[in-house]
Chain A
Amino acid sequence: VPFRRRGAVGLHISSETCCIAVEIHEYGFGSRDPHTGFACGYVNHKGRIVVDTQTQLASLTDHEARQCLDRIVSAMNATNPDLQLTSPNELGDILKDIAVSHGNLPFTPRRDAELSDTPKAVRLVLLEFLEDPNLRARLEAALRSDRPTLIDPITGALVMAGIIVVLTTRFNLKYKRGKEGKPEIEASVGRDASSEGIIKKFFGLFSSSS
C-alpha cells in the first residue's frame, strides 16, 4: 500500500466521498488537493486503495524520489549504454549544446550536490515523466520496483541525467560520439511551445542564480 511510505503521515477517510487522503509531509506537487492540502487516492469497488501515479509521486519522500529517478536512469543506462548517462561532464556538455541552440540560455552544469534545491529538482524532473506515455511507463515501472537496495546512485548528476532521459525520449534528441569520443548533438530539440516550456523549466534549475 503506497500510503505506508515514510513521509506520508496520517490517514483520513472521508465517509462522504470515500476518498482517502494522505497528508504530504515533505515537499509535494501536482496532486495536492488545493482545498485540503492532501494528496488523494480512491477506494475501488473491491475496497482496494487505488492511487494514481501522480499521487504516488507526491507521497514519495525526498530520498525515495531520488531513488526513483536513479532507477529510471539506471534502467535507461542499461538498455542504452551509448547514452553515457553516468558522466557528469558529458551530461553537462550535451545540455550546454542544447542551451546554446535555444538562444544561449544561461546554463552552468551542476552535480546534484551543487543544486540549490535538489529534492525540488528531482521531483520536477520526475513530474515531467508523467506527460509522455513512453516516459510514464518508465516512471511507473520504477515506482513498482521500490525495494530498498544496497546501491549508490548511478551518477552524482542524477538531475542532469534525468533531463537527458526526458529530452531524448520526448523530443527524439539524438547524439553521436565525435572523433575524440565527445558527444555531438545529431538532432536537436525542436522549438515549439511545448518544448520551449520544458527547456525553460529545466534550465531554470541551472541558471547561475539558482
Chain B
Amino acid sequence: MPEPVLRLYLLGQLNKEQKSRTLIIFGEYKSLRGLSRVTLTDDSLKTLLDSIASLRGYVEGGFPPIDRNTLAKLGEQLFDVLITERTKELFLLATGEVRGKRQFLPLEIVAEDFEIAGWPWEYMYNSASPGFISQDFHPVSRSIFSMTSRSPLRQKRGPVHVLIILGVPPDDKYTTPTEEIKVIEAVFKTYLGREFAIHVLPAADYQKLQNGISHHEIDIVHYFGHAQFDYERREGFLSIARPESEPFRLYAEVFSNLLVNSHVRLVFLNACKTAQASPADNPARSSIAASLLDRGIPAVIGTQFSLPDVSAHSLASTVYIGLLTGRSIGEAVRVGRNAMWFQDKYQFYDWGIPVLYSTNPAQVLFTPRGEQLGWAKAYTSASAEGGQSLLEMLADVSTPGAPSIVVESTRPADTKSRVTVALIDIDAKVGFLPDMANLANRSQNYFHFEVVYIPVPSGYVRTDLGEHWQTFVPRLKDVFLGLPENLKVDYVCGLTQHMIAGESGGDKFSNHFAALVSDNVTNVFVISTYDLRRYSLEAGESFTRAVFGLCLAMLVFSDPRWKIDFHEETAGCLFDYCENRDDIIIGLKKKSFDHKKCRDKIKDPALLAAIDAFYTLDFSTDDRDHIDVAG
C-alpha cells in the first residue's frame, strides 16, 4: 500500500489591485475532503511578501539579515495560509493517523496563482507543534495543474541507467564535478552492485544530449553544473560551459522537450534555482523542474535558491541512498534535506533549498533489489504483530519471489486434483528434502508434497521419556494443528531426527517411528528419521524411500476410508508396527506393497498406483546422504 498523501489545492488569484483577496484551499486525504477560505488583507499580504523577499535576499546575498526565528515566523505565515479551518482539521486528523503508524504524511501543494506557486512552502512551520514540518513528518512537495496523462510507474527491472549531464568541465576551478560523479557512483555500487550503468555527458558534448537520453533506456537524468533564472525571458536555464565561448543556455522548455516520451523516472537538477518560476508565468513553462513534470517526468528534484557546491554532493548521495533502499521520493528528499545539516558552512535555511516536483510524493521509484514492495510491507506489518499473523503471511505463496516458509520449487500452480501434503523438517536436517519431494511428485499423480520450514516451539525434545532423546509431539500441538488450514494442505507431516514420544488414550508412548500429533486430529503427524539412514543402508535401500515409506504409511493410516491400522505382525508391510525397531529393515527390503490383508482394504486404484510407484521409484539421487558404516 502506498503512503497516503495530503493534497492541498490553493485556488484563487493574488489580485494586488484589491484591498483583500480570498483564496480557497481544498484539502484531500484518502476519501476525506476539506475546504477552507483564507483572506489575505493588504497588510498581511505585504508582510508575507516582504518576509519572502527578505529570505530570498538573505540566501542570495546575505542581505537583509535574518535568523532562524525570522524564518520560523515566515514559515508560520505560510502554514496559516494553507492549514486553516477545515484543512487544519484534515491535517490534524491525517497527521494523527500516520504518526500512530510511524509513517510519513507527504504534503503535496498545487497552487493556481503563479506567484503563490513559487512561495517557499518547504519552510512551513507549525507553531502548535513547534517545528518545520518538512523536516519531520511532512515532506512538502509541489505539483502543477497539468493535462498530461501519466500512467502509473511500473516496477523497475534490470539495470538502472543514469545519465549525468555535466554543465562544467571536469577540471572546473570553482566546482567539483568529478566529486559528484564519484559520490553517485559509490552509492549505486553499494546498493545495486553491478545492476547499474552511469553514462556521463561532458559539457563539451552537450549537443549529444538528445542521443544520450534516447540511446540508453535512461531512468535517471542527473544534472550538475551552473544554472540561473533568466528574468528577462522569465524562464530558467541550465548553463553549460563551452570552451572559448559564452555558456550555452539550455532553457526549461527546450530541455523538457528532450525528455518527452522518455523512460526517465527521475530528473535531479543539482544546480541553482532550477525550480524557480516566474511570478507572472505558469511554472510549467518558466521553471525547469515544473516544466519537466508537465512533460510527464514523474519526479523532479530542483532548487528554489542558490545551492552551495558542497551541499550538492551530500544532497545527491543521500537522496539516492533513500531511493535505492525503497523509500518514497518524498521521504528520500526529506532525508536529503536533513543530511545537508552536516555540511561545512551550513546555514540554517539550507535544508529548504531543494524542491520536489512530483506526480505523487509517495511513489517508490526504485524497489530494492531482491525485494518486492507488495509483500515487503505486509511482511513488516506481520513481523511487528508476530506469532500467527507472521505464519499466515509466510504461508501465502501467491506472490512469486516473496519470502515464504514453503519452498517455492515444491509448490506447483495447480494441486486441486491431488492430495496435498506439507513436509515440515522440524529438525531432521534433510538438506535435499525439496529434491526428494519433487522426485516423489513426478513419480505419481495422487499426492503432492511440498516442503515447509516453520519455527517450532522450544522444549519439544525430552530426555526423560526413554533411552534416547524423544520428540514429544503434544508439545507441537499448538503450532501444528492449525497448519493444514494455514498452509491450505490436506495433510501435515513433520520430520524429526529423534524418536517420537507422546500420549494416546491417557497412556504415554515413546521410541516410535511415527505418531499423530493429537488423537482427535488425523491429518497432522510426525515421523522419525532416527536410525533410518542406518536401516536403509542395511536394507540396501535409499534413505529417501525409507522416509517416504513412513510418510506414506501415516497418510493411508490417517485416511478414515480404509480403516487400516498398524499391525503387530512384521510382514514387510508399510503398516508393520515394528515393536522391535530393527524389523523395519524387512519392510525396507520389500520391492512391492504386497501384504494382501492391507492392500485389499484400499479400494482406490489411484492410491494403490501411487504406493506402487513409490516402491519402484529410483531414489539413487540421495547418495549425498549416505553414511559410512565402517566409520
Contacts and interface: CB of A to CB of B under 8 A. Distances in A.
B63 interface: yes
B62 A141 contact: yes
B63 A149 contact: no
Contacts of B271: 150-151
A147 B57 contact: no
A144 B272 contact: no
Contact of B226 (A73, A87, A151): A151
B316 to A, nearest CB: 12
Interface stretch (A44-52, A77-85, A96-104, A193-201): A77-85
Interface string B49-67: 0000110111111111100
A78 B56 contact: yes
Nearest to A85: B231
A138 B60 CA distance: 11
| Most chain B C-beta atoms within 10 Å of own C-beta, residue among A72, A81, A149, A154 | A149
A34 interface: no
A150 B63 contact: no
A127 B111 CA distance: 43
B312 to A, nearest CB: 6
B307 A145 contact: no
Interface in A122-146: 137-138, 141-142, 144-145
A71 interface: yes
Given A87-B231, A154-B228, A149 B57 contact: no
Given A86-B231, A141-B63, A149 B247 contact: no
Instruction: Sort chain A's interface into a size bin.
Output: 20 to 34
B354 to A, nearest CB: 12
Contact of A150 (B57, B225, B231, B347): B225
Interface SS of B by simple majority: mixed
User: What does DSSP make chain A's interface, helix, strand, loop or mixed?
Assistant: helix
Contacts of B173: 63
Contacts of B347: 147
Contacts of B230: 86
A74 interface: yes
Nearest to B65: A141
B53 A71 contact: no
Given A76-B57, A77-B231, A152-B239, A147 B62 contact: no
Contacts of A178: none
A148 B225 CA distance: 12
Contacts of B61: 71-76, 78, 138, 141-142, 145
A153 B58 contact: no
A147 B307 CA distance: 9
A149 B306 contact: yes
Interface residues of B, number: 38
B232 to A, nearest CB: 5
Interface in A158-194: none
Contacts of B306: 74, 149-151
A79 B226 CA distance: 23
A1 interface: no
A29 B62 CA distance: 24
B309 A148 contact: yes
A63 B175 CA distance: 13
Given A63-B174, A71-B62, A147-B345, A152 B227 contact: yes
B270 interface: yes
Given A78-B53, A81-B53, A151 B63 contact: no
A76 B312 CA distance: 25
B310 interface: yes
Nearest to A154: B228
Contact of A75 (B58, B228, B345): B58
A34 B307 CA distance: 40
B65 A79 contact: no
Contact of A79 (B56, B224, B227, B239): B56
Interface of A: 63, 71-79, 81, 84, 86-87, 89, 113, 137-138, 141-142, 144-145, 147-155
8 contacts: A76-B57, A148-B174, A150-B227, A150-B309, A151-B227, A151-B228, A151-B272, A152-B247
Interface of B: 53-54, 56-65, 173-175, 224-228, 230-232, 239, 246-247, 270-273, 306-310, 312, 345, 347
